[in-house]
Chains A and B, each alone.
Chain A
Amino acid sequence: MEHLSEKDRERLALTGLEVGMQNRCGSFFQVDQKVIQTTCGAEGIEMLPIAVALEKYDWVKDYYWNAVPKDKDKYTQYLAKQENPQGLVVIAQPGAKIEMPLQACLFLREEPVQHVHNIFIAREGSEINIISGCASSWQKEHGAHIGVTEIYVGKGAKVTSTMIHNWNPGISVFPRSAIIVEEDGTFLSNYVCMQPVKQINMYPTARLVGKNAVARFSSIVVATPGSILDLGSRTILAAEHTSTELVTRAITTGGKVISRGHVLGEKDNTRGHIECKGLILKDGIIHAIPEIEGTLTGTELSHEAAVGKIARQEIEYLMARGLSEEEATATIIRGFLDVKISGLPPVLQAQIDAAIDKAESGF
């Protein structure tokens, strides 16, 4: 980490990377295609570079290109062709529970393309929090990041995945993620991107295959001028008594946000809800495309979406209490972005709050 410039360290810190490992029980750090660090001090949890994991445990290959198909699209095909796959494998043994997050940091510095393949396996009854910070060097003008992440949430297990992005205006990003959740398992995803980027395109899919499985996706994004954020999340309610919630808060200050969402209810006693709220601060595009699809009487699906500007009445209300127009606007935006996610450890919430604070000063 010593060979990073001060500026790059700051950029990484914004994605949640704790260089000194405070509040972290494990760490994985990949710069371009090189794994710099893999350490993990938590009992029952293993963090390994993917090449090492595939060699060490024969069974890991059963999880490799399983949730995400190799031929999904040209990006997965590109990754599947790589001879030296890089990325992180996390294995949580049955019953292993840690609240303190594991961090995975992917840093794009010099190469034109960074590709990673991550696999998170939470065995029965285990609980893990993973914070993935993805960033590019401040001097990196163009480049692409392609990442496949396969997450397997075992019976009664819980995985919280928090991803904070901090790219540059010339970087294109193509995450391809899929999650399989078994009986009584819980998957929580938090995604934050509030800094300029050329393009982000992703549509993670959670498949709830066991009874009582739950998936929640929350996204907080800001599209600055020139940024195109094509984001979505999808849950397939493939077992009885499963439920899901997809929540998005999107702001445009001149860029484009496409907020997709899809819930497919295909078993009885299933519930799903999509909520997208968009705030247009400066002329830009927020395009919400929520889809709910039910195939039988026992599924209950709903969605709500709203796009607009801040109501003048709200700003004036706060001004009447003594806040200036700028302070009132920032206070309302802060509230708008404040999506509290139940079950999120305070340290991760603090990380998200910090990302919001940082962006807020730019509004």
Chain B
Amino acid sequence: MLDISDLHVSVDGTEVLHDINLHIGQGETHVLMGPNGSGKSTLLKAVMGFGGYAITSGSIVFKGKDITNVPIHERAHLGIGMMFQHPPAISGLKLGKLLVATSHMEKDAIEALAQSVNMDHFLDRDINVGFSGGEIKRSEVLQLKAQQPDFIMLDEPESGVDLENMNLMGKEIAALLEKDIHIVNRQRSGLIITHTGYILDYLEADQGHVLINGQIRCHGNPREILRVVKEKGYGECLRCKQM
């Protein structure tokens, strides 16, 4: 599904990601961990194609197509979707109108979709304006449900979410990633940034990666990585790499 090879990314002239290699197969969900400022969000934004994240070398291939220099919306059309951690608030733009513009769904279908994530009262609200942490996440999930991407990147889906919302979010994200379908037949893939690992209470991840100082330091079983980080911190990952 996604092949990142020898990727170097600079922000404002400073290299932030160094020589990233990552392969995510069809139906697989990967987890990306790492200390604050290690470059996790930068990696997601570079895959989405945001300006300001200059790819100085390497390539990103999605579904066999080199998308390294493809504009953002074409990546979205190819099937890449993203849940933002801090989406912008856009005054005047109604959530419902955005859903109509991006999904080409009928009004009734959008209302039903919004109801499924308790967002039906927000369709006439300006997007993200005055939304609480949980509301922002539900709005993001709703947009992804309308978009139905094949590959979903989630930037800290747990942050700012209370337990009740986490339960809803976890289940919705699992559904988006087709966790109810057997791995053999599963089409959708995902890449999830998590600090706490709470999302793993709702879905199984196939692989974990640790990103430190812009480099992927280790790959492995996500639960095992999480356990080591919880017990010994990211320092252990650095030592591990040096051994």
What is A's interface to B at a CB cutoff of 8 Å?
311-314, 316-325, 327-328, 331-332, 334-339
Cα of A183 to Cα of B91 in the assembled complex, Å: 34
Is the CB–CB distance between B76 and A331 below 8 Å?
no
Is the CB–CB distance between B82 and A313 below 8 Å?
no
The listed residue (A311, A317, A323, A337) touching B84 by CB distance below 8 A is: A317
Cα of A338 to Cα of B143 in the assembled complex, Å: 22
The listed residue (B76, B126, B143) touching A335 by CB distance below 8 A is: B126
The listed residue (B50, B82, B88, B97) touching A311 by CB distance below 8 A is: B88
List residues of chain A with CB within 8 A of the CB of B88.
311, 313-314, 317
16 contacts between A and B (CB under 8 A): A311-B88, A314-B88, A314-B90, A317-B90, A320-B73, A320-B76, A322-B77, A323-B101, A323-B102, A324-B71, A325-B71, A327-B73, A331-B101, A335-B93, A336-B91, A339-B92
Chain B, Cβ-Cβ closest to A316: B50
Is the CB–CB distance between B126 and A324 below 8 Å?
no
List residues of chain A with CB within 8 A of the CB of B91.
335-336
Interface string of B86-107 (1 = CB under 8 A from A): 0110111110011001100000
Besides A331-B97, A335-B91, 4 other A-B contacts (C-beta < 8 A): A317-B84, A319-B71, A319-B72, A323-B73
What is B's interface to A at a CB cutoff of 8 Å?
48, 50-52, 71-73, 76-77, 81-82, 84, 87-88, 90-94, 97-98, 101-102, 126, 143, 147
Cα of A102 to Cα of B159 in the assembled complex, Å: 54
Query: Majority SS of interface residues in chain B?
Result: mixed
User: Which 10 A/B pairs are nearest by Cβ-Cβ distance?
Assistant: A335-B92, A335-B93, A319-B72, A322-B76, A338-B92, A321-B102, A319-B73, A313-B88, A314-B88, A324-B73
Chain A, Cβ-Cβ closest to B126: A335
Chain B, Cβ-Cβ closest to A249: B92
The listed residue (B84, B90, B147) touching A322 by CB distance below 8 A is: B147
Cα of A321 to Cα of B87 in the assembled complex, Å: 12
Is the CB–CB distance between B102 and A336 below 8 Å?
no
Chain B, Cβ-Cβ closest to A312: B51
Cα of A335 to Cα of B97 in the assembled complex, Å: 10
Cα of A320 to Cα of B91 in the assembled complex, Å: 18
Is the CB–CB distance between B94 and A335 below 8 Å?
yes
Is the CB–CB distance between B51 and A321 below 8 Å?
no
List residues of chain B with CB within 8 A of the CB of A318.
98, 102
Cα of A275 to Cα of B1 in the assembled complex, Å: 49
List residues of chain A with CB within 8 A of the CB of B48.
320
Cα of A339 to Cα of B98 in the assembled complex, Å: 17
List residues of chain A with CB within 8 A of the CB of B77.
322
Cα of A312 to Cα of B45 in the assembled complex, Å: 14
Given the contacts A314-B88, A316-B50, A321 and B147 also touching, CB distance less than 8 Å: yes
Cα of A227 to Cα of B76 in the assembled complex, Å: 39
Is the CB–CB distance between B87 and A317 below 8 Å?
yes
List residues of chain B with CB within 8 A of the CB of A339.
92
List residues of chain A with CB within 8 A of the CB of B98.
318, 321, 331
Is the CB–CB distance between B101 and A320 below 8 Å?
no
Cα of A321 to Cα of B52 in the assembled complex, Å: 19
List residues of chain A with CB within 8 A of the CB of B92.
334-339
List residues of chain B with CB within 8 A of the CB of A323.
73, 101-102
Cα of A323 to Cα of B99 in the assembled complex, Å: 11
Is the CB–CB distance between A332 and B93 below 8 Å?
yes
